[in-house]
Amino acid sequence: MRARRRRGSSRLLRSMVAVSAIAALPVAVAGASVWNKGDVFAGITPEGTNPAGYRIFDNAGNPKEFVGKATSTGNATGCGFDQADNLYGTFFSNTNVIKFANAHPHPDLQTIDVAATGGADSESIVFDAAGNFYVGIADGDRDVVKYDPAGNLVDEFDVETGPRGSDFVELSADQKTLFYTSEGADVRRYDVSTHTQLTPFATGLPGAAHYGLRLLPPGDGSGGMLVAGQEEIQRLNGSGAVAQTYDVPGNDLWFALNLDPDGTSFWSADLNTGNIFRFNINTGAVEVGPIANAGVQVGGLCVLGELSPTLTPKTSAPRSRRSPVSAFRATTPTTRSPARPMTTCCVAGAAMTRSPDCPATTASTARPVTMR
């Protein structure tokens, strides 16, 4: 369903922007500004004279700028940052990765042709501690590909896939276990150090398909993960079972997902509505949003300084008192936690029904949120 929607709109959008994108400047950036920790980067389809690229918001949801490249069409999807905080964006229809400078005015520095490996439709990216990066690919040979910090091809991984390819990827704190989704009901795993397919982390998850995912501390799966499950966002425990869900009415294609640097919240976006929200991980409350992006699809999210099990710590202090790096470096349990019942909360306007296990909700809640 997602493929048909996206490709149909992509073909139309490509034809509409073919001329306007070329005339749009040497488009690197509109309204360039300084990027700060906690800024949110949303990958969008072309709009008007802008090509595909990234809308950038501060951590409160206020718009800052747009960064893109005139030759980019289709969808800008998953993104990430190297150790110098340069932005790396995946461009779905172009099957490439573009590097944008952190320094003002954020020009594009490099374009990596992912299609040269036999893949089609690059969709996500994740970095290891050494600065190498892995790219998830939806179509073509569907392999995960690895590049060094200079953008040279290092390796390819023929991972097992489901309905689609190696769509969204996440790397464990051990620097070798790759977690990924394939637009089905499973979260799969692969050992990149030995080229070995591992047993899935989760199977038979509820929902039509699963997309963006992020590990929770300590970053090896034992602390669970968050995964965008189309109709709802799911929090999985260390056994791969659904322990909690997050949703906002009217958003039924949860797609992009990433962790906030504060260590207590995460961001997610609906592909079709373009709405972006920040949720509290424990309570499910919406802390920011909706950040509206009418008229475009949001195919990826990344957050500068995002919580990650594989990246080395920054010298700058985190926005909250809790250190996300130390959270990911917590002692790894020897066994996974058992499954526990899902928490169910329903909020509808002023009326509320709440089970004894639900967090209290006050009138200051930013938006109605349903934890199903």
What pLDDT score does 71 carry?
86
Residue type, 215: L
Question: Quick check: 284 and 371 in contact, CB under 8 A?
Answer: yes
What is the CATH number for 21? 2.130.10.10
The domain tally of the chain equals 1
Residue 154: count other Cβ atoms within 10 Å of its Cβ: 11
What pLDDT score does 21 carry?
31
What pLDDT score does 53 carry?
96
364 falls within a domain: no
Residue 86 main-chain phi, psi, to 5 deg: -75, 145
Question: Quick check: 128 and 171 in contact, CB under 8 A?
Answer: yes
- Residue 11 three-state SS: helix
16 falls within a domain: yes
What pLDDT score does 332 carry?
32
- Ranges in the chain, pLDDT < 70: 1-32, 312-372
* Nearest partner of 271 among 107, 80, 42, judged by Cα: 42
301 falls within a domain: yes
DSSP letters spanning 15-50: HHHHHHHHTS-S-SEES-----TT-EEEEE--BTTB
372 falls within a domain: no
What pLDDT score does 316 carry?
41
What would the two tokens of residue 242 be? 């659904």
361 falls within a domain: no
Residue 23: count other Cβ atoms within 10 Å of its Cβ: 9
Question: pTM score, two decimals?
Answer: 0.80
What pLDDT score does 327 carry?
59
What pLDDT score does 196 carry?
98
Show the domain range for 170. 2-341
* Nearest partner of 7 among 271, 196, 203, 257, judged by Cα: 271
356 falls within a domain: no
Letter string b/e over residues 100-113, b meaning 16 or more CB atoms within 10 A of that residue's CB: bbeeeebebbebbe
Question: What is the dihedral angle through the alpha carbons of 51, 98, 135, 11, rounded to the nearest 10 degrees?
Answer: 20
272 falls within a domain: yes
